[in-house]
Amino acid sequence: MARGISGRSHGDPRTADTRAKVKDDYRPSRDEILRYIAENPDRSGKRDIAKAFALRGEDRIWLKDMLRDLQDEGLLTRERKRLARVGALPHVAVLDIFGRDGDGVLLARPTEAVGGGEPPVVSIRVSRSGNGQAPGIGDRVLAKTFPTDDATGPAYTGRVMKIFEKRNDAVLGVFRVLKDGTFRIEPVERRQPELVVDKEFQNGARNGDLVEVEPARASRYGLPRAKVLTVLGSLTSEKAVSMIAIHTHDIPHIFPADVLAEAEAVKPATLAGREDWRDLALVTIDPADAKDHDDAVFAISDTDEKNPGGVIVTVAIADVAAYIRYGTALDREALKRGNSVYFPDRVVPMLPERISNDLCSLREGHDRPALAVRMTFSADGHKLRHSFHRVMMKSVAKLAYPQAQAAIDGAPDDKTGPILDTVLKPLWDAYSILKRGRASRQPLELDLPERKILLKEDGTVDRVVVPERLDAHRLIEEFMIQANVAAAETLEAKRQALVYRIHDAPSLAKQESLREFLQTLGLSLARGAQMRPAQFNGILERVSGADNEGLVNEVVLRSQSQAEYSPKNIGHFGLNLKRYAHFTSPIRRYADLIVHRGLIAALGFGPGGLTQNEAERLEEVSVLISGTERRAMAAERDTVDRLIAAYLAERVGDRFDARISGVTKSGLFVQLPQFGADGFIPVSSMDGDYYIYDETARSLFGERTGKGYQLADRVEVRLIEVAPMAGAMRFEMLTDPKPLPGSKRSFHKAKGRARASQSRPGPRGRRR
């Protein structure tokens, strides 16, 4: 009877034709054995090999001798009970990512040497992990490795299993010269210790310089020492604070020479292959300080008798794909950055200024290439149809939000006056119709005002303002949402791969946590896995104008999932949309550039479309750009914290009105609404009672009195300590604790948990 071979194709050393010819006396060749071991490193023991080739009896003795010969010849090595090719990577290896290939794929090498000669190169496969992390250049990862048959490319591919914490070989700090002439490194991270620098390791640093240092091992006595590696710049410069965030979060901010050369060599797009829309009165409406303009709008009434009261809305978006082609240096750098990063004192753009502020910016009175969508809406705000066009346009006016709003409100200026009746009023008429569709859709309506930091010429804080939320803002926002939906619908209809902007519904655990919290306020939230934004809106409407309005808005926000990018659609919960893709900001977001390329390819708009190679990598790209978005948000937040801390450093001892923005068992986080700044009140500094953390009620309450503090409470605090470069502030509570809603129900549960914890080592609070 002929011997069988395992039906698992991954471990099968022979082809179907070979298996058909197998006889009882079949013995694999040396090359077949070596190839099997290379392709199956996790099943390369002697028994595994015998089973794979269906060897029995004397054939197993023959295999044992063959394997010993291969080891003696230096072709195989034994690792525990498994065999491996000499110089081959183990099936699971620790790798260091060092760069990208011409297609932007991450490349890595093994951390530890394997055999002699050059270490093998591994092409990293990126997939969406549970925690949303994406590996990048400089990361150390644990990965499964798989040998390839490509003689010209990397010897292995790798699938990341875990990203290790970044190596702490170098840290950032501010070089300080003390009065006694000694040197210190002032930390720029809240948990980073102060360091001492000896004179021989000063490396040219001067007082106030932002430096990169290498910490030495901490000694038993005194502060740890360090040596200066690089001087990054002086903190007296106006952009020093954002530079700290740029280096801390590894944000690429200097364009390589080849990228700049490519940008300078780009020729302006021509009318060839485009519709001529230069006579259409498109306008841009942006913040007053905007330097790039990637969207323009226009609207008219629909004259079709079948659509009474309807409107036609046109949104034109800069055609970035006309200049940024897949695989070029410009494209690789844009993917590496993922998005532009906006600091109060600077912008780190995704694309060089030649592209972002010139060729692609929809400047007033200049011919510019664009991708445009024309959408027809019924009188009730329902979209009836849409069409995409590749055009050449010319903006008739560059307007700021307040400027456009003032014209509508009866105060036009020299620029808005001539276009008030023909352009602006039709836009507002169209918006009034789109609002009906939005009201019917019922997206999540959170009321969380945003603050903006205004700087002086020297880069320090002048003041913090809350810009008024205008209908001009809402108009552009709703027009862009509809254009994004149209892009996703068109690409789906054409079966074209795309990157969706997805937002999952709150997890069941977060829903239950929110439900328990609302019960402490006498509010209820329906149960069920199919939650809709309207249910949250109902809660928000019930507390509108009440003392706890801010609290409920904050907790509802924290119950939501984080939006991200993915080629797999699950819809957008917050906007209550079944399909949604970012299309409207390709100058500053790589995701939008991918959608543009998809539309160009799907609609036959000419060069610059999505390639097959690019489409196959959308899962990896989605993970990468979701990561760069989170990186940008963290860097922007850190910069604001440092600027405000430096602004308030001279006001230590002053009293401030504050709002509790976070509650933990170790203390309270408070925010100063006037400044948007955050600080901490340690529970150990709160006198008069032993405070217990109630997770359900988001509160700390006194064991003796039952009174305490809850998330979103308005309190008065005193500023005690500031660490400007770390963006950290410590406050003292001045407001007396208050009786808490629902505390009687939750008091005994939390008290029991607290008493149980007291039986374990480690204090959770402080008695006074």
What DSSP letter does each residue of 103-155 carry, written as one string? T--EEEEESS--SSSSPPPEEEE----TT-----TT-EEEEEEEE---SSS-S
Predicted confidence (pLDDT) per residue in 202-227, tens digit: 988 999 888 888 887 666 667 888 88
Instruction: Spell 192-206 as b/e; 16+ CB within 10 A means b.
Output: beebbbeeebbeebe
Residue 716 near residue 656 (C-beta atoms within 8 A)? yes
| Angstrom distances, CA of residue 473 to CA of 163, 287, 581 | 40, 9, 20
Is 643 within a domain?
Answer: no
Is 182 within a domain?
Answer: yes
Is 547 within a domain?
Answer: yes
| Angstrom distances, CA of residue 83 to CA of 28, 30, 70, 87, 261 | 16, 14, 10, 12, 50
Residues 320 and 389 in one domain: yes
Residue entry with tokens 């507390």: 543
Residue 455 near residue 344 (C-beta atoms within 8 A)? yes
pTM surpassing 0.85?
no
Mean pLDDT for the stretch of residues 740-766 = 44
Is 475 within a domain?
Answer: yes
Mean pLDDT for the stretch of residues 687-712 = 89
| DSSP secondary structure of 485-519 | HHHHHHHHHTT----EEEBPPPPHHHHHHHHHHHH
Residue 76 near residue 67 (C-beta atoms within 8 A)? yes
Residues 620 and 538 in one domain: no
Is 644 within a domain?
Answer: no
Continuous segment of H or E residues that includes residue 311: strand 311-318
Residue 610 confidence (pLDDT): 97
Predicted confidence (pLDDT) per residue in 622-646, tens digit: 988 998 999 999 999 888 888 888 8
Residues 219 and 268 in one domain: no
Which of 11-20, 375-384, 448-457 has the lowest average pLDDT? 11-20
Of 53, 85, 117, the last residue of a domain is 85
Q: Which residue has the higher pLDDT, 318 or 20?
A: 318
CA dist., res. 651 & res. 654, Å (int): 6
Residues 142 and 29 in one domain: no
Instruction: Spell 155-185 as b/e; 16+ CB within 10 A means b.
Output: bbbbebeebeeeeeeebbbbbbeeeeeebbb
Which of 137-151, 342-356, 411-425 has the lowest average pLDDT? 137-151
Which of 207-216, 259-268, 581-590 has the lowest average pLDDT? 207-216
Q: Is 253 left (phi over 0), alpha (psi -120 to 50) or beta?
A: alpha
Residues 446 and 315 in one domain: yes
Residue 519 confidence (pLDDT): 82
Residue 117 confidence (pLDDT): 54
Mean pLDDT for the stretch of residues 22-40 = 71
Segments forming the whole domain that contains residue 220: 171-236
CATH number at residue 78: 1.10.10
Specify which of 125-139, 150-164, 645-659 reaches the highest per-range mean pLDDT.
645-659
CA dist., res. 42 & res. 92, Å (int): 9
* DSSP 8-state assignment for residue 676: T
For residue 285, what pLDDT band results from cuts at 50, 70 and 90? very high
172 DSSP β-pair partners: 212
CA dist., res. 523 & res. 529, Å (int): 19
319 has pLDDT over 50: yes
Residues 707 and 615 in one domain: no
Specify which of 314-328, 514-528, 551-565, 724-738 reaches the highest per-range mean pLDDT.
314-328
Q: Which residue has the higher pLDDT, 764 or 286?
A: 286
The mean of the pLDDT values for the chain is 85
Residues 582 and 512 in one domain: no
Residue 114 confidence (pLDDT): 58
Residue 224 confidence (pLDDT): 86
* DSSP 8-state assignment for residue 613: H
Mean pLDDT for the stretch of residues 362-380 = 97
The total number of structural domains in the chain stands at 6
Residues 400 and 416 in one domain: yes
Residue 312 confidence (pLDDT): 98
Continuous segment of H or E residues that includes residue 739: strand 738-739
Of 68, 85, 102, the last residue of a domain is 85
145 has pLDDT over 90: no
346 has pLDDT over 80: yes
Residue 731 near residue 720 (C-beta atoms within 8 A)? yes
Mean pLDDT for the stretch of residues 269-281 = 97
3 has pLDDT over 50: no
Residues 375 and 404 in one domain: yes
Residues 152 and 203 in one domain: no
